[in-house]
Amino acid sequence: MLIWICKRDEVKDIRKHAIDVINFQLSISLDMFPFVIFISPLILLALFSQVVISINAMKVTSHQDYKYLLSIRFLKQE
Protein backbone atom coordinates (compact mmCIF):
# COMPACT_ATOMS: atom_id res chain seq x y z
CA MET A 1 0.00 0.00 0.00
CA LEU A 2 2.82 2.39 0.89
CA ILE A 3 4.61 1.67 -2.40
CA TRP A 4 1.38 2.34 -4.29
CA ILE A 5 0.94 5.68 -2.54
CA CYS A 6 4.53 6.73 -3.28
CA LYS A 7 4.91 5.34 -6.81
CA ARG A 8 1.39 5.48 -8.26
CA ASP A 9 2.31 8.19 -10.76
CA GLU A 10 5.64 6.61 -11.78
CA VAL A 11 4.87 2.91 -12.33
CA LYS A 12 2.34 1.81 -14.92
CA ASP A 13 -0.35 -0.60 -13.66
CA ILE A 14 0.79 -0.25 -10.03
CA ARG A 15 -2.86 0.05 -8.95
CA LYS A 16 -3.63 -3.38 -10.40
CA HIS A 17 -0.65 -4.93 -8.60
CA ALA A 18 -1.52 -3.17 -5.34
CA ILE A 19 -5.09 -4.48 -5.50
CA ASP A 20 -3.80 -8.01 -6.21
CA VAL A 21 -1.45 -7.86 -3.22
CA ILE A 22 -4.15 -6.55 -0.88
CA ASN A 23 -6.58 -9.22 -2.09
CA PHE A 24 -3.92 -11.90 -1.52
CA GLN A 25 -3.15 -10.64 2.00
CA LEU A 26 -6.83 -10.51 2.93
CA SER A 27 -7.37 -14.02 1.54
CA ILE A 28 -4.45 -15.44 3.51
CA SER A 29 -5.72 -13.72 6.65
CA LEU A 30 -9.16 -15.28 6.19
CA ASP A 31 -7.59 -18.68 5.47
CA MET A 32 -5.54 -18.51 8.67
CA PHE A 33 -8.47 -17.53 10.91
CA PRO A 34 -9.79 -21.08 11.50
CA PHE A 35 -6.29 -22.29 12.37
CA VAL A 36 -5.92 -19.57 15.00
CA ILE A 37 -9.21 -20.68 16.57
CA PHE A 38 -8.00 -24.30 16.78
CA ILE A 39 -4.39 -23.59 17.77
CA SER A 40 -5.23 -21.29 20.69
CA PRO A 41 -6.87 -24.06 22.77
CA LEU A 42 -3.95 -26.38 21.98
CA ILE A 43 -1.47 -23.81 23.28
CA LEU A 44 -3.55 -23.34 26.43
CA LEU A 45 -3.75 -27.11 26.92
CA ALA A 46 0.02 -27.42 26.56
CA LEU A 47 0.55 -24.66 29.13
CA PHE A 48 -1.96 -26.29 31.49
CA SER A 49 -0.14 -29.61 31.11
CA GLN A 50 3.23 -28.09 31.99
CA VAL A 51 1.81 -26.28 35.03
CA VAL A 52 0.16 -29.45 36.37
CA ILE A 53 3.32 -31.50 35.82
CA SER A 54 5.46 -28.86 37.57
CA ILE A 55 3.11 -28.59 40.55
CA ASN A 56 2.93 -32.37 40.93
CA ALA A 57 6.72 -32.68 40.67
CA MET A 58 7.05 -30.24 43.59
CA LYS A 59 4.48 -32.23 45.56
CA VAL A 60 6.36 -35.50 44.93
CA THR A 61 9.64 -34.01 46.17
CA SER A 62 7.79 -32.79 49.31
CA HIS A 63 6.26 -36.25 49.85
CA GLN A 64 2.72 -34.93 49.37
CA ASP A 65 -0.17 -36.58 47.55
CA TYR A 66 -0.70 -35.46 43.98
CA LYS A 67 -3.37 -35.82 41.35
CA TYR A 68 -3.26 -35.29 37.59
CA LEU A 69 -6.43 -33.49 36.56
CA LEU A 70 -8.28 -34.69 33.45
CA SER A 71 -6.25 -37.90 33.44
CA ILE A 72 -7.67 -41.18 32.09
CA ARG A 73 -6.16 -44.30 33.66
CA PHE A 74 -4.97 -46.30 30.66
CA LEU A 75 -2.29 -48.07 32.70
CA LYS A 76 -2.97 -49.43 36.15
CA GLN A 77 -0.61 -49.45 39.12
CA GLU A 78 0.24 -52.85 40.56
Q: How many domains does the chain have?
A: 1
Q: Compute the distance between CA of residue 62 and CA of residue 37 in angstroms, rounded to an integer.
A: 39
Tell me whether residue 39 is in a domain. Answer: yes
Tell me whether residue 27 is in a domain. Answer: yes
User: Given pLDDT bands bounded at 50, 70 and 90, which one contains residue 1?
Assistant: low
Tell me whether residue 15 is in a domain. Answer: yes
pLDDT digits (tens, 9 = 90+) for 31-60: 998 988 889 899 999 999 999 999 999 999
The pTM (predicted TM-score) of the whole model is 0.59
Tell me whether residue 68 is in a domain. Answer: no
Q: Which of 6-10, 56-60, 74-78 has the lowest mean pLDDT?
A: 6-10
The pLDDT score that the predictor gives to residue 4 is 66
CA distances from 20 to 4, 6, 9, 13 (A): 12, 17, 18, 11
Chain mean pLDDT for the chain: 88
The stretch 17-22 carries a mean pLDDT of 83
Tell me whether residue 75 is in a domain. Answer: no
Domain that holds residue 53: 2-61
